[in-house]
Amino acid sequence: MMMRAMTQGDVDAVLVIEQAVQRFPWTRGNFTDALHSGYLCCVDETEEGGIRGYAILMPVVGEAELLNIGVAAAQQRKGLGRAMLAEMLNVARGRNMKRVFLEVRSSNVAAIALYRSAGFSQIGERRGYYRNEEGSEDALVMACELAGEANG
Ligand SMILES: CC(C)(COP(=O)(O)OP(=O)(O)OC[C@H]1O[C@@H](n2cnc3c(N)ncnc32)[C@H](O)[C@@H]1OP(=O)(O)O)[C@@H](O)C(=O)NCCC(=O)NCCS
């Protein structure tokens, strides 16, 4: 895995993946806004220069929220999502963030399993938070405590 900062030039490739793997994909504007807002936007790039995955972390006073993570369909279930998430947590830890939290659709079993295996646990839920084909669905709020690990 080789992660680097996402640039505006990556957005086309990231959007192709996003539109293929997310039921309710982010728009180009969402990615551009994230880049301009100084969020931590990273891509995983192969040696040949292809993008396989991406993740976006928003710093919020001493904590961070994982806003998005995606892996190209053909590259899923090979450990890339877990490796990218671990890297994002390391970066957050390196910036002395105490906690990373996120919201996830209650139907997204793959993401929930990934987050649990990375040390996240559920701290709440938001009823009807996301729209979906049936109207709405709940969000699980999950958090991973970082304090006291790598930085002591
Ligand atoms: C969620 C996602 C990023 C996982 O990426 P990945 O590279 O396939 O994940 P990994 O191979 O690292 O898997 C890590 C763990 O996640 C869980 N997992 C991943 N895919 C799963 C699936 N389809 N079903 C159940 N559990 C799954 C498993 O616990 C897995 O560990 P295991 O392979 O040892 O059983 C990927 O499925 C994806 O891009 N989904 C669409 C976008 C999305 O929903 N993002 C999250 C919300 S923004």
| Per-residue buried b or exposed e for 52-74, using 16+ beta carbons within 10 Å of the residue's own CB | bbbbbbbbeeeebbbbbbbbbee
Instruction: Give the nearest ligand 1 atom to 71 CA.
Output: 39
CATH for 113: 3.40.630.30
Task: Output the pTM of the full model.
Answer: 0.96
pLDDT digits (tens, 9 = 90+) for 75-95: 999 999 999 999 999 999 999
**Per-residue pLDDT at 152:** 43
Which residue's CA lies nearest to atom 37 of ligand 1? Answer: 110
Dihedral sign for Cα atoms in the order 143, 60, 39, 34: positive
Whether 115 maps to a domain, the answer reads yes
pLDDT band at 148 (very low <50, low <70, confident <90, very high): low
Give the single-character DSSP code of 146: -
Average pLDDT over residues 127-138: 95
Whether 150 maps to a domain, the answer reads no
Active centre residues (catalytic)? 103, 115
Share of the chain above pLDDT 90, in %: 95
Residues with CB under 6 A from ligand 1: 21-22, 68-71, 76-82, 104, 108-111, 113-114, 117
pLDDT band at 151 (very low <50, low <70, confident <90, very high): very low
Instruction: Indicate the number of domains in the chain.
Output: 1
**Per-residue pLDDT at 147:** 77
For 9, 80, 108, the CA distances from 28, given in Å and listed in that order, are: 12, 23, 23
User: Among candidates 16, 23, 49, which has minimal Cα distance to 132?
Assistant: 23
What token pair was written down for 66? 């994982």
**Three-state DSSP class for 25?**
coil
From ligand 1's centre to the CA of 111, what distance in Å?
5
Which residue's CA lies nearest to atom 24 of ligand 1? Answer: 110
Domain that holds residue 55: 3-145
Instruction: Give the nearest ligand 1 atom to 84 CA.
Output: 12
pLDDT at residue 59 is higher than 80? yes
Whether 152 maps to a domain, the answer reads no
pLDDT digits (tens, 9 = 90+) for 7-44: 999 999 999 999 999 999 999 999 999 999 999 999 99
C-alpha to C-alpha distance for 118 and 50, rounded to whole angstroms: 26
